[in-house]
Amino acid sequence: MTLMGAAALLILVLTYAGVAIGRIPGLRLDRAGIALLGGAAMIAIGALSMEDAYRAINFDTITLLLGMMIVVAHLKVSGAFRGLGAVAIEHAHAPFMLLVMVTLLTGVLSAFLVNDAICLVMAPIVVHVTRVIKRNPIPYLIATATASNCGSVATITGNPQNMVIGALSGISYPAFSAALAPVALFGLVAVIVIIRIVYRTEFARTVTLTPEVSRGRMHKGQVLKAVVVCIGLAVAFFAGVPVAKAALVGGAILLLTRAIKPERIYREIDGPLLFMFAGLFVVVAGAEKTLLTPDIIASAKDLGLDDVWRLSGFTAVLSNIMSNVPAVLALRPFIPGLENPERAWLVVAMSSTLAGNFTLLGSVANLIVAEQARAAGTQLSFGAFFKVGLPLTLITLAVGTAWLALGF
C-alpha cells in the first residue's frame, strides 16, 4: 500500500468512526462537520483533485433531499400535518384503533415524504393526545418511530438512504415502489401486531376514547397549494420524471407565497444533513480511487454478497454499526459488480432501513421521537423500544429478504 493509500484508509476509518459515534471527543464537531473534514482531508492529501471532488458529489441526491425538505416544511408550517393528524386521531375511539391510526398515518406519510420530518410532526401530537386521554404514551411513540422506518421503505423519497440508492442505481420510482411497497405494508402490519402483543395490558380493556388534537392556526390557502403540489409530485414520480427535477420544481413553486415568510421554511431545512452527504460522497470517492483495486472490488463475490440473504444480513449489521446512509455509501463500489445489481440495491435499501428498528439508536427517526418525547416530559427508554424493535427487525428483515429473493 502506498503512503497516500494508507493516509486515505486512515481518513476513511476515522471519518466513519466519527460519524458512527456522532462526535469527536474533545471537539465540537457533529456528524456533518466530521464528514466535511474527512472530505477536505481527502483533497488535502491528493487522493482527489477539486474537480474530482465536485464530480464525486451526487447532486441529484442533494437536490432531491433539498426539494423534499422544502415541500415537507410547507406542509408543516402551513398546518397541513397537524390538521391531518387531528382528523385521523380524533376518529380513534379505542386504544387499539389509536395504535392503528398512529401507525398507518405515520407509515403512509413516511412512504412519500422524508420519514425524519414526519416523526418531528407526529411525536408531539402522540404525546399530547395520550396525555389528554390518560393513556401510556410509550407504545404509541414506539409505533411512530418504527412505522416511519417501515413505511419509508416503500419509495425512493421515503428516507435519505433510499434517495442515495435511487440516484446511484438508476432504478425508476415505479419499479422501486413495486418491489418494496409490499414489504413496507407488511412492516406496518407487523408494527401493530407486535406492539399489541408486547403492550397487551394497554389494549386489554375496552375503553371509549375521545381524543382531541389542537389544530392550531392553519393557512388554508397554503395547505391547499401544498396538497396540490404533493399530488403533482406523486404523479410526476410515477410518470418517470426525474425525481430530483420534480422535487426541486415542486419546492420552488411552494416558495411563491405571500402568507409564509421564507425564513420559516429555511429554518426547517436540515443543512447539516446536506453537508454530511457531500462530505461522505467525497470521502468514499477518495477511498475508492486510492484503495479499491479491481481485485478488491471483485472480492465482493468472494464474500458471497450475490446471495440475497447474506447481503441483507451484512447490510443490517453494517447499518447498525455506522448508521444507514454511511453504510449505503460504503457498499456503493461493490454493488455494480454483483450478478444482479438492481436486486442488490433493493436489498440494501430494504435492509438498511428496516435495520433501523433494531434499537433506539438505530435510526435518526427513532432518536427524533425519543427527543420530542423527552422535551414533552416522557422518557422513551432503550429497553422499552428494544422489546418491540428486536422481534420487529428480525421478522420484517426475514420477510423482506424472502420477498426480494423470490421476486427477482
- Is pLDDT of 29 > 90? no
Q: What gap in Å lies between CA 271 and CA 274, rounded to an integer?
A: 5
Quick one: pLDDT band at residue 213, thresholds 50, 70, 90?
low
The mean per-residue pLDDT over the stretch 265-291 comes to: 87
**Separation between Cα atoms, residue 182 and residue 55, nearest integer Å:** 35
What percent of the chain stands above pLDDT 90?
41
What is the spatial distance between Cα 199 and Cα 201, in angstroms, rounded to a whole number? 6
pLDDT above 70 (res 297): no
Quick: pLDDT tens for 143-187: 999 999 999 999 999 998 999 999 889 899 999 999 999 999 999
Name the residue with cell 387531528. Answer: 86
The angle at the Cα of 261, spanning 256 to 266, to the nearest 5 degrees, equals 90
Is 125 in a helix, a strand, or coil?
helix
Of residues 327 and 21, more confidence is placed in 327
Q: Cell 390518560: give the residue.
A: 134
Cβ-based neighbour number of residue 112 at 10 Å: 22
If one counts every other C-beta atom within 10 angstroms of the C-beta of residue 267, the result is 11
Is residue 312 within 8 Å of residue 397, measured between CB atoms? yes
Q: Name the nearest CA neighbour of 363 among 149, 155, 190, 166.
A: 149
Give just the sign of the alpha carbon dihedral 189, 190, 193, 196.
Answer: negative
Q: What is the pLDDT of residue 295?
A: 67
Cell readout for 213 is 388534537
The upper half-sphere exposure of residue 277, i.e. CA atoms within 13 Å in the direction of its Cβ, equals 22
Picking from 209, 79, 204, 77, the residue whose alpha carbon sits closest to that of residue 133 is 209
What distance in Å separates the CA atoms of residue 113 and residue 70, rounded to the nearest whole number? Answer: 11
Per-chain mean pLDDT for the chain: 87
CB-based contact 250:232 (threshold 8 Å): yes
Instruction: Judge residue 380's burial from the number of C-beta atoms within 10 Å of its C-beta, 0-12 exposed, 13-18 middle, 19 or more buried.
Output: buried
Among the residues of 113-219, which ranges form H helices?
Answer: 115-132, 138-152, 160-169, 173-198, 200-204
pLDDT of residue 44: 94
Closest among 195, 187, 255, 229 to 393, alpha carbons compared: 187
Which DSSP string do the residues of 50-76 spell out, in sequence order? HHHHHHHS-HHHHHHHHHHHHHHHHHH
pLDDT tens digits along 319-350: 888 788 888 888 888 888 888 899 999 999 99
Please list, in sequence order, all residues whose beta carbon lies within 8 angstroms of the beta carbon of residue 147, skipping any fewer than 6 positions away: 102, 103, 104, 106, 107, 110, 187, 188, 191
The pLDDT value given to residue 387: 93
- How high is the pLDDT of residue 115? 87
Give the pLDDT band (50/70/90) at residue 92. Answer: low
Amino acid at 239: A
In our burial notation (b when 16+ CB lie closer than 10 A, e otherwise), range 316-351 reads bebbbebbbbbbbbbbbbbbebbeebbbbbbbbbbb
Within its chain, how far is the Cα of 377 from the centroid?
Answer: 25
